[in-house]
Amino acid sequence: MASITVRNLDETVKQALRLRAARHDRSMEEEARLLLADGVGEPDQRPMAAGGSNLPKPVGGADPDHAYPARGKRILLIIGGGIAAYKCLDLIRRLRERGVSVRPVLTRAGGEFVTPLSLGALAADRVFTDLFDREDEHDVGHIRLSREADLIVVAPATADFLAKMAGGHADDLASTVVLASDKPILVAPAMNPKMWQHPATVRNYATLESDGVHFIGPEAGEMAESDEAGTGRMAEPMAIVERIGVLLDTGPKPLAGRIAIVTSGPTHEPIDPVRYIANRSSGKQGHAIAAALARAGAQVKLISGPVNIADPAGVEVIHVETARQMHEAALGALPADIAVMVAAVADWRTDGAADEKIKKTASERTPRLALVENPDILAAVGHHERRPCLVVGFAAETEKIDKHGRGKLERKNADWIVANDVSPETGVMGGDANTIRLIRRDGIEAWPTLSKQAVAERLTERVVDYFAENTAHA
């Protein structure tokens, strides 16, 4: 934003920008920044009128998730005092991309980390800071703020703010808004690990949870302080976006009452304490499918191997490492109505992992690894006496995709096989897109190249259709 150079613009563009800036009583640079923040839509700095509509167009004219459940909703974002406050800038942008209106409330401590100017530019709305603002409080503005929103989000939520909420304090605008609200509240804590583990914070968390406050995070990782690590990092913006979508999802739930098992990610088969055998799976596709099934109303149990992505909101997650652990968890999750086996399970493991790191020495030959076959999770579920009504397997192939996929369907006793080409040049493994061939006993359905999110949505639609058509399973 700071690098905008108006003099380099085309003269016609500059003239239009000059007229627009004059109309709004702003500088050309400020007008350009607001245009970029608002996706070249008409910026509107007015407060939302009660019951009115001041909802944003998707930023940049793009809607990365047209099916986002919170699209058209209003979020009141309370920004607490912590280094993680900078993440709120990205959170606002991500929400507005999805057609969500965001109104910021900046605490005094939060103002030490981010400015009202940056928040207002991204939100395209006024930033509220003062409980005793004469302009706002003539009509009891803190009550209006709390009631006009569909959801209040506190991010980052410091230990101090959690204590205020738990104790019912209302000594500034942010805490007063929370206390006056009758809307759901989502809190994203962020603090030093010692503060998070302190008995007072533990008590406050339990109190708020019992009051019905929703939490996301904190996550484990490195802290801003040197040589500090542990649980206390604020959840990432996209994880918060996803949780907001779940909390505000009022769409139909055609899979309500159904139980779904989804496996996702790779498995790690240890060779020694520091080495392992694995597949190149990111878990993005499996996690997206679990989230899509949950949005359709299913009770989802996601069994995840080691991945570097956040757990999807609204699902029960069982974390495992090895194929044998995933096999045990999958069978332990039965009975279920739906099983979608997406995980790239390692086919083999070493016949006894070394207890100590295998050393490389000049005098010794390269060690030989004896491999044994891992349990076949899809086949175990497909042939189980408590087999789900619908069993879906994934076939990651590099050649003869239809032939290998149909063979897998028969061998594993699956109903469908989702087959895809994972050759290195496709970029599927670890990437964000997938080209699917849905193999069923009555034929093959070829899908165009889609994002993994879109694949998840389309597969969920097929699952919904399956149960609607097969009334015997309803």
Around Cβ 451, how many Cβ atoms within 10 Å?
16
Q: What does the DSSP 8-state code read for residue 128?
A: B
Residue 46 to residue 57: CA distance in whole angstroms: 16
Reported residue count of the chain is 474
**Closest Cα to residue 176, out of 215, 208, 212, 146?**
146
Q: Which residue from 123, 81, 79 is spatially nearest to 105, judged by alpha carbons?
A: 79
Structure tokens at 133: 């603002």
Helices (H) and strands (E) in the chain — how many of each? 16, 19
Choice among 279, 374, 420, 434 that is catalytic: 279
Task: Give the residue from 332, 328, 305 showing the smallest Cα distance to 317.
Answer: 305
Quote the CA–CA distance of 414 and 376 in Å, as a whole number: 13
Q: What's the rounded Cα separation, in Å, for the pair 375 and 224?
A: 43
Tokens linked to 154 = 């506190």
Contact (CB, 8 A) for 109 and 158:
yes
Q: Which of 117, 136, 115 is nearest to 27 (CA)?
A: 117
| Cα distance between residue 453 and residue 249, in whole Å | 17
Contact 149, 125 (CB under 8 A): no
The interaxial angle of helices 284-295 and 452-469, nearest 10 deg, is 40
What are 447's two structure tokens? 């899908």
451 vs 428: CA distance, rounded Å: 10
Q: Determine which helix (DSSP H) or strand (DSSP E) holds 338, and give its type and residue range.
A: strand 338-341
- Cross-strand partners of 258: none
Active site residue 279: yes
Give CA–CA dist 111/108, Å, rounded. 5
Residues linked to residue 64 through DSSP beta bridges, in sequence order: none
Residues involved in catalysis: 279
